[in-house]
Chains A and B, each alone.
Chain A
Amino acid sequence: GAGVSQSPRYKVAKRGQDVALRCDPISGHVSLFWYQQALGQGPEFLTYFQNEAQLDKSGLPSDRFFAERPEGSVSTLKIQRTQQEDSAVYLCASSFVGQGFYSNQPQHFGDGTRLSIL
């Protein structure tokens, strides 16, 4: 499809397990963002890539969270030793990097992965 694709859509894990969430951005989109959305809240920024470079990871809540985008396309968000407070929807967004007049490019979101930690 033409949009941002995330998998799996739903993930249930036991506390202490590691999980990996995948994001396939829109083709040609250089920028990729991960957000965490708690129930009843707006998305909160986790981390940002431009191509394969992770330029901002200030939103990652702990060192159990790790993201990578080794070839500048698909990205994986990994959470180690999951805790119950990690339960949330994890959203991925991508945008085109424009120049000059086209420099303002909005972010387009996938449908998210709903993570439940038991």
Chain B
Amino acid sequence: GQQLNQSPQSMFIQEGEDVSMNCTSSSIFNTWLWYKQDPGEGPVLLIALYKAGELTSNGRLTAQFGITRKDSFLNISASIPSDVGIYFCAGQRDSNNDMRFGAGTRLTVKP
């Protein structure tokens, strides 16, 4: 089963609003990643975080690797309709090992 607790499960927001979602774990991970998945497609990597405390941005997306190595959050600023999709957090203990995923946050953006 899922080892990561991701919240919220779903969000309905207006275009232009900021979004925040997070992920927690009872275990330590050495890498945190955030993926976006559109219907019928595979997950696409958004941001990868490799160091506790690291804050990384990719355009309107910002993600942080928690100091305890047991949590991460993703913020999306000024949302647009194409942000719609399911966002997954994933934790990885060692490089080149399998990832453990959260159950996803389904984002709906109303124009």
Q: Let me know if A95 and B100 touch, CB within 8 A.
A: no
User: Measured between alpha carbons, how far is A110 from B43 in the docked complex, in Å?
Assistant: 8
* B42 nearest CB across to chain A (Å): 3
Q: Let me know if B99 and A110 touch, CB within 8 A.
A: no
Chain B residue numbers with a CB within 8 Å of A95 are 96
* Listed stretches B44-52, B56-64, B71-79; interface member: B44-52
Q: Let me know if B98 and A59 touch, CB within 8 A.
A: yes
User: Measured between alpha carbons, how far is A91 from B33 in the docked complex, in Å?
Assistant: 17
Which residues of A97-113 have CB atoms within 8 Å of chain B's CB atoms? 97-98, 103-112
* A41 nearest CB across to chain B (Å): 6
Set A48, A98, A106: member contacting B98, Cβ < 8 A: A48
User: Measured between alpha carbons, how far is A111 from B104 in the docked complex, in Å?
Assistant: 17
Count, chain A residues at interface, CB 8 A: 28
User: Measured between alpha carbons, how far is A43 from B40 in the docked complex, in Å?
Assistant: 14
Knowing A95-B96, A97-B96, A104-B95 are in contact, say whether A42-B101 is a contact too (CB < 8 A): yes
User: Measured between alpha carbons, how far is A112 from B43 in the docked complex, in Å?
Assistant: 9
Set A40, A44, A104, A109: member contacting B42, Cβ < 8 A: A109
Knowing A91-B43, A109-B42, A112-B42 are in contact, say whether A41-B103 is a contact too (CB < 8 A): yes
* A36 nearest CB across to chain B (Å): 11
B97 on interface, CB distance cutoff 8 Å: yes
Q: Mark B10-52, 1 if CB is under 8 A from A, else 0.
A: 0000000000000000000001010100001111110010100
Which B residues lie at the A interface, using CB under 8 A?
1-2, 4, 6, 31, 33, 35, 40-45, 48, 50, 88, 90, 95-104
A-B contact pairs, 27 of them (CB 8 A): A31-B96, A40-B104, A41-B2, A41-B104, A42-B6, A42-B88, A42-B102, A42-B104, A43-B99, A43-B101, A44-B2, A45-B98, A45-B99, A48-B98, A56-B97, A59-B98, A91-B42, A95-B96, A103-B95, A104-B50, A105-B95, A106-B45, A106-B48, A107-B99, A111-B40, A111-B42, A112-B42
